[in-house]
A and B are shown apart, each in its own frame.
Chain A
Amino acid sequence: MKFYHLSIKHIDVLREIGNIGAGNAATSMSKLLNKKIDMQIPSVNIVAFDEVMDLVGGPDNPIVAIYIRIKGQAPGSVFFILSIEEAEHLVREITTDTNVKLLSEEQPSEIAISALHEAGNILAGSYLSALSDFTEINMQPSVPHLSVDMAGAVLTVGLLELSHVSDYAIIIDTKINDNEETNGIHGHFFLLPDPESIPKIFTALGIDDHE
């Protein structure tokens, strides 16, 4: 199967994966913040590397990203991405620290960093465990890594494995949000399976490659 020639059926399966993963993560987030969290229908896109950054506002747009490397039978990368304001809002919700500044000359407070780490751990962890249960593929999350920097610089890390075999990435993008008109949280989940993981995921779900 050519990496970038997916049938509608394949795309549907990947969308379902995003649905299940983010659904579980949204439930976790809802418990964490004690409020209602909605999620949108995931989009599955096959995009050039430049377009990956465009999905979150362009390569030099600053973002807060929690990155988890998936180890095990179907390796890949998961990013949970927030804008700077949204991440500050999330930290305020969790820690009640009202003076959070993530982007300044000084290092952000340790509490803010560990709150984000922990939120990322919970969210990405629940995303992955749902995925692993659904596909019955063994996937272990790495320790979460946090970065507050330009989208291009951060997301490239997730593209390196792919870049040996392709100039395109399959991105399963699911947005979750907390229903508030202003200062809401609209997070993106990006799932980027490594190239060799894609056929494994399809096989695990009983989808024939040859069509």
Chain B
Amino acid sequence: MNDSQIIVKVGIADLNMVSAPQTIRTSGLGSCIGAVLYDLPKKIAGLAHIMLPDSSLARQDSINTYKYADTAIDILIEKLCENGARKYALQAKLAGGAQMFQFSSTSEIMRIGPRNVEAVKEKLNMHYIPIVSMDVGGNCGRTIEFDPATGELKIRTVTKGQSFI
């Protein structure tokens, strides 16, 4: 297999990193957020598939820190910097945060998509990481793939085909 065909996959509530010529992908984002952080000159990128906004809501003894916006972003930044990325050069692209079902009730759990978006934005703000582009909200699922060589984020949906941000 050719090097350029290696795609690293990230599961739900997980994160990982790649450097060019590899690309990184996560599939079936609904209310979850795919947060990509990258250092373009160094061609390094990390992707977190974040499920929930806030780890303080957890009712679990040992929490999975990759699941929450407030913890996963910190870890992703740390890991990227350990692997040669420069924090001041990091930029972000976001996708996801949809509301898959339109509920009439105002149940908090059903508004999780928009809340995830807010939580990730807030966290990136705290770290002074600029958000270059994003495709969030709406009510469709997204599969995303990031190429650290070009800084392009490919977004695929089931009805609207592919787009790049």
Closest to A67 in B: B101
Interface size for chain B: under 10, 10 to 19, 20 to 34, or 35 or more residues? 35 or more
Task: Evaluate contact between B100 and A60: CB separation under 8 angstroms.
Answer: no
Task: Using A152-B141, A154-B141 as known contacts, say yes or no to A58 and B27 having CB atoms under 8 A apart.
Answer: yes
Interface size for chain A: under 10, 10 to 19, 20 to 34, or 35 or more residues? 20 to 34
Task: Evaluate contact between A60 and B140: CB separation under 8 angstroms.
Answer: no
Q: Annotate A46-72 by CB proximity to B: 1 below 8 A, 0 otherwise.
A: 000110010000111010000100000
Task: Write the nearest CB–CB distance from B26 to chain A, whole angstroms.
Answer: 8
9-residue interface stretch from B39-47, B57-65, B122-130:
B57-65
Tell me the total A-B contact number using a CB cutoff of 8 A. Answer: 101
Task: Evaluate contact between B28 and A152: CB separation under 8 angstroms.
Answer: yes
Closest to B25 in A: A60
Closest to A106 in B: B159
Closest to A103 in B: B158
Task: Write the nearest CB–CB distance from A168 to chain B, whole angstroms.
Answer: 11
9-residue interface stretch from B29-37, B73-81, B86-94, B146-154:
B29-37
Interface residues of B in 6-41 (CB under 8 A from A): 11-14, 27-32
Does A172 sit within 8 A of B, measured CB to CB? no
Residues of B near A142 (CB, < 8 A) are 103
Task: Write the nearest CB–CB distance from B40 to chain A, whole angstroms.
Answer: 26
